[in-house]
Structure 1
Amino acid sequence: MYAISLGDDGAELRPLEPWHAAEFLAHLERGREFINQYVPFGSKATDVATAREALQRYADMRAADTGSLHGLWLDGTLVGGVLFLNFDAADANCEVGCWLEPAGTGRGLITRAMRVLIDFAVEQRGIQRVEWVASAGNTPSLDVARRLGMTRDGVRRQAYPYRGVRHDLEVWSVLAQEWRDARARGTHNDH
């Protein structure tokens, strides 16, 4: 399968598939509280069987061309990932997202990996609008959206109930031509 180098620091983007269940579970256990600060990503994966189920759900979405999951490995250790939460080729829209354990933070991994995902969506699949939705309190996630050159479309006030609190959700996006223009200008930065 593919492994895309994300630079000279040992970072790679690879498929994250059901057979990675034990590795995925170990990764979640290392970073569960950090990862789940704003979203319950992987929270139902509590043993190898349920980790496999979580990964199978995304494998099924990939097969249906409605979403996909991609892991980030740093020096051979799974530390996070990026994903298409939804992918609608017919309407040329998609939503991207990410997660990361503490060992992977501060390196620009998400930004670098997301560039690969967005390039693929725009250039190979003809996606016209890439959307990013994050809790207004999730500053690192919003910073990635900014680094990617996305525009803040608005705030869905108190739209997301999580852990007993109603969170505002910020909606960011980049359009295909904006993405291409920024790439041509070389205005993207990773940190």
Structure 2
Amino acid sequence: MSEYKFASSIKSKLRLNIKLLARDKGATSIQIDGLPDYFHNKILRNKRALVRQYPGILQDKQRLVDFKIFTLMDVDDCKDISVRKNYLAGHISGLGQHDLKPYLHPIYCRENLEDALTDIDFAYVAATDRQKRHYLKVFDPVSGVIADEATIVGLRDRFRHSNRSNFDEFLDYCLAHQFRL
């Protein structure tokens, strides 16, 4: 849930034209070893189904243009060591020759998001599941952290120096694709 809430907050504050997919808006987790099943749903089963659902995705012949699918996952509950290592290396096990495989970009937190946020001394780290819903309010004047480009760049830079996550790669993409007037 925390990755979904955190990404939702960033999406909102940067006014990103991205779609966040999750089970029950992040309330039900998807495990790393369950990603192959998730990528066989009616929307993600192939490029044609994806573009049919989201016609705004640009295509150049058979290639999707400037398109990525980020999978934001904690790896602490992955029981299969080889699947875990593969994910940390930037690959998702069990997808075979899936049509969207070239567009997948695994984002990991070695244990969980809260561990990664603690590692970078982030202003707010949820201690309980109940507090995770507050990630929507993280970049809020009340919290003392106001989301603007400089704040997100600072967050990205702190993640870049952490070995607990590669969340900076997702933030790079978000910063490059934010809405500008």
Above 0.5 in TM-score? no
More helix by share: 2
How does the TM-score come out when normalised to structure 2?
0.30
